[in-house]
Amino acid sequence: MLLLCLKIKKSLKTVIIHPKKTGSIERQHPWIFSGAICSSIDGFNDGEIVSVRDVNNKFLAIGHFQNATIAVRILSFREEEIDQNYFNNAIANAVNLRKSLNLFRTDNSICRLIHGEGDGLPGLIVDFYNGVAVIQCHSIGMYLSISMINVALQTVLKNELKAVYSKSSETLPDRLNASNSYLFGSCETPHVAVENGVNYEIDWVNGQKTGFFIDQRENRKLLGNYSIGKKILNTFCYSGGFSLKALINGASCVYSLDSSSKAIELTERNINLNQFSGIHKSIVADAMHYIKDVQEDFDIIILDPPAFAKHRDKKHKAVQGYKRLNAHAMRHIKSGGIIFTFSCSQVIDKTLFTNTIIAAAIESGRKIRILEQLHQPADHPINAFHQEGEYLKGLIIQVD
């Protein structure tokens, strides 16, 4: 061990942390911001592994360097080598968690395998669709480690893995010229996978993100409990996840709305794939405008918009957007109706989101009751030392 530690100390470049900035690292927060570094970073390469030390040369952590606001994403708080064995162990740990959650079943072949900081692998997302692992890197360091990630996935999943696809061109700086391609095997898209008994066409090549929004799995399942005999509007529907779960649980009628005609086409294919007909209507429209002037009486409205704010400087504008959207829905839903409302904006925390919904109720002149508080599922774990990982917030409210 001593020889290994000496080898690491000699071979890695070192960043020194300002004495007043070591506290968060000692509390095991996985991000080091550029302002915390008090040593020169001249000659440092984006994506390389660096040693992190205090001004007394005490070891603090090891991680991926990037010349950005988040300067180091910590991989370990121990002096260890970040090699193939490291990735094998980290990915095995993540996969074992998903298997312990019983997410590998005949009626469920969709889950998130790796959720960045929540699995101790900051900057790495891996989603699993019926034998196909789709990798999305959010840091240059993880992208440069992709060969080891690919090998680790094959080593851990063995015969359960049909293909590995790398899709990081839209999440990394343009200067990398990152290409999307298969790293192992191949698979035609769209590819059918099942979530809690519902079949979906998944297209990781042309679809948004990795092809599907896995983080709403348990909330879609929960909607089923409210759906029997109900008329439902599902806004920002993308592939129709909430719509299908409502239909399979006995909704009398479901309207699926999205501003993208391609999303609506995907929803309709998924409706046909599950052999639903006659009780579903597709609408291509802007959700905000549609809800503002809607003439239909709905029992349930689902508001699951894309992130209104990806950066803190957009927070106020995002809050106003959530408030306006929810106020429109509250004004038009029938008395006693239910709204499933969500925010996936990381900069909008639970308290702010709840206060925004309350403000929308005041503006609409309607009384509301909060029935349930919703969040991301267990395969999107939150690192206890990294509360920023809790990005999905939701409420089920009843409007009197």
CATH of the domain at 13: 2.30.130.10
What pLDDT, on the 0 to 100 scale, is given for residue 378? 98
Calculate the CA 216 to chain-centre distance.
Answer: 9
Q: Is the pLDDT of residue 6 over 90?
A: no
Same structural domain for residues 292 and 237?
Answer: yes
Tokens of 55: 């001004």
Q: Is the pLDDT of residue 383 over 90?
A: yes
Per residue in 146-158, pLDDT (tens digit) is: 999 999 999 999 9
- Output the domain CATH number for residue 146: 3.30.750.80
Alpha-carbon gap, residue 304 to 300, rounded angstroms: 13
Q: Is the pLDDT of residue 8 over 60?
A: no
Same structural domain for residues 345 and 298?
Answer: yes
Total tally of structural domains belonging to the chain:
3
Query: What is the average per-residue pLDDT within 347-363?
Result: 96
The pLDDT-based confidence of 122 (bands split at 50, 70, 90) is very high
Same structural domain for residues 225 and 355?
Answer: yes
Task: Name residue 393's beta-bridge partners.
Answer: 343, 375
Q: Residue 244: which residues within 8 A CB-CB, separation 6 or more?
A: 198, 200, 220, 270, 271, 274, 276
Tell me how crowded residue 285 is: count the other CB atoms within 10 A of its CB.
14
Query: What is the average per-residue pLDDT within 90-118?
Result: 98
For residue 206, is it within any domain? no
Same structural domain for residues 93 and 31?
Answer: no
What pLDDT, on the 0 to 100 scale, is given for residue 7? 41
Same structural domain for residues 284 and 356?
Answer: yes
For residue 119, is it within any domain? yes
CA dihedral in degrees (263, 266, 271, 273; nearest 10)? -170
What pLDDT, on the 0 to 100 scale, is given for residue 4? 38
Parent domain of 341: 213-399
What pLDDT, on the 0 to 100 scale, is given for residue 314? 79
What pLDDT, on the 0 to 100 scale, is given for residue 309? 67
Per residue in 253-298, pLDDT (tens digit) is: 999 999 999 999 999 999 999 998 679 999 999 999 999 998 889 9
Q: Is the pLDDT of residue 163 over 80?
A: yes
| 111 sits in which H/E element | strand 110-115
90 three-state secondary structure:
helix
Q: Which of 76, 110, 134 is the last residue of a domain?
A: 76
The pLDDT-based confidence of 313 (bands split at 50, 70, 90) is confident
Q: Is the pLDDT of residue 3 over 90?
A: no
Q: Which of 149, 171, 196 is the last residue of a domain?
A: 196
Q: Is the pLDDT of residue 5 over 50?
A: no
